[in-house]
Amino acid sequence: MLWIAAAFILSLRMPGANPEGALSVLMEPDGTGTWRMLIAQFEKENPDIPIQMVEGPPATNAREDLYAASFLSGKAGFDIVYCDVVWTAKFAAAGWLRDLTDRLSRQDLNDFLPQELEAGSYKGRVYRIPAFTDAGMLYYRKDLVESPPVTFDDLERQARQLQNGNRWGFLWQGKQYEGLTTVFLEILWGFGGEWIDAKTKQVYLDSREAVKALEFLKKTIGTISPPAVTSYIEEDTRTLFQAGRAVFLRNWPYVWTLVRESPVKDKVAFVPMVHAPEESSAATLGGWGFAVSETSSRVEDAWKFVKFITGTEQMKVMYERMGRIPSRRSLVPAEFVPIIEKARMRPAIPEYAQASDILQRWVSAALTGRPGCEEALKKAAEETRALLGHAK
């Protein structure tokens, strides 16, 4: 990973790679061209502030590593940070982000979704301005499913009944990366379990509920989910589902817009994630925003861009073209409100990336290899306690 990071940062210094005077930002792959379009609009309105968008790898944790390596290098790297909800605490605690609290208008403070504002804050100060929100949900083929599943058992049963030689029952994101943490949490919470209490730093991974959650996921592999599910990220599962190759899909809201331009366009609906009978459904809160890097020498210009890209009109475009749910209350489409409302934040602690890495490693080990679910979670709990300095 380190050599990739180094090569990446070096590439920014190559002649022609960073147009003179341009502000740089590391983004996701711009599959729909929407980011380029919005940036072009900004540059038209602000010809003296060109933006250099670098398209990084699709996995959030891979881009987080690139940002971290850039900040740690001590050189002026990116001016603007395209920032996941789970990066704020670490980046703010490390002093990598500008405090933007006093720049927010009262109107913005009232309009942004409270959970997204909170996810952009650290110790009461705002560092990341929300652009769009995310929450995990369950898509299904309404032409095949009579009544959408509510419990884990319903999902398993219906998936078995409706899968055939051409389509699998259930697709989810099983690669060892941040997406696996988000999926595992929805199952864990759906069984009534917990991961880490952000306030007390108590760790609950060696619980019965956690074992049930991991066993549920493991049992799907090769039965209702393809064996390769342990190597899939969001886009792998979306493309398969859109091609009619599965009955159920766990993914984020963006799929809703894209699926309606696909061969299964009139055959898809969604519900909140399934759960254990006595529990309720849970979604992992996701979402992205923009922050100004502490190392930028062009704070005012960078802020101009952040303000623009998180504006109402830009959010409408992000929704229409990319299916990203606007982070402003006034713009959230009604059908997503029940799912967004249930979304729960991953622990907002500076050690988040390491804690999630431990979870990903052990969950992935149990899914793909030998350690039993109970043993893997016991190890994950021990390592997490050591990380957080909390002996139970």
Is 252 an interacting residue with respect to ligand GLC (CB under 6 A)? yes
- Contact in structure between 170 and 248 (CB atoms under 8 Å): yes
- Which stretch in 62-70, 79-87, 155-163, 383-391 sits in contact with ligand GLC by CB under 6 A? 79-87
Does 289 bind ligand GLC (CB under 6 A)? Our answer is no
Rounded to a whole number of angstroms, the minimum distance from the CB of residue 21 to ligand GLC is 31
**Interface residue with ligand GLC, options 60, 158, 163, 242 (CB under 6 A):** 60
Could you tell me which of 383, 380, 389, 364 has the C-alpha nearest to residue 183? Answer: 364
- Binding to ligand GLC by residue 357, rule CB under 6 A? no
Q: Which stretch, 102-110, 178-186, 294-302, 306-314, contacts ligand GLC (CB under 6 A)? A: 178-186
Quick check: 251 binds ligand GLC (CB under 6 A)?
A: no
Q: Check if the beta carbon of residue 187 is closer than 8 Å to that of residue 276.
A: no
Q: Is 174 among the residues that bind ligand GLC (CB under 6 A)? A: no
Provide the minimum distance between the beta carbon of 286 and ligand GLC in the complex, in angstroms, as a whole number. 3
Write the CA distances from 370 to 98, 230, 258, 375, 376, integer angstroms. Answer: 45, 14, 37, 10, 9
Rg (CA), the chain: 21
267 within 8 A of 162, measured Cβ to Cβ = no
Distance CA 154, CA 19 (A): 55
- C-beta closer to ligand GLC: residue 122 or 303: 122
Stretch that binds ligand GLC, among 3-11, 75-83, 202-210, 286-294 (CB under 6 A): 286-294
State the nearest-atom distance from the C-beta of 332 to ligand GLC, in Å: 15
Mention every residue, 6+ apart, whose C-beta is less than 8 A from residue 369: none
Q: Is 52 in the site for ligand GLC (CB under 6 A)?
A: no
User: By CB under 6 A, is residue 56 in contact with ligand GLC?
Assistant: no
Query: How many whole angstroms separate alpha carbon 180 and alpha carbon 377?
Result: 14
d(CA 29, CA 322): 12
Which of 65, 79, 134, 351 is in the footprint of ligand GLC by CB under 6 A? 134
User: Does the protein bind ligand GLC through residue 179 (CB under 6 A)?
Assistant: yes
Nearest approach in angstroms of CB 46 to ligand GLC is: 27
65-68 contacts, C-beta under 8 A, 24 or more apart: 65/1, 65/5, 66/5, 66/8, 66/9, 66/26, 67/26, 67/91, 67/96
Q: Which residues bind ligand GLC (CB under 6 A)?
A: 60, 84-86, 134, 178-179, 182, 252, 286-288
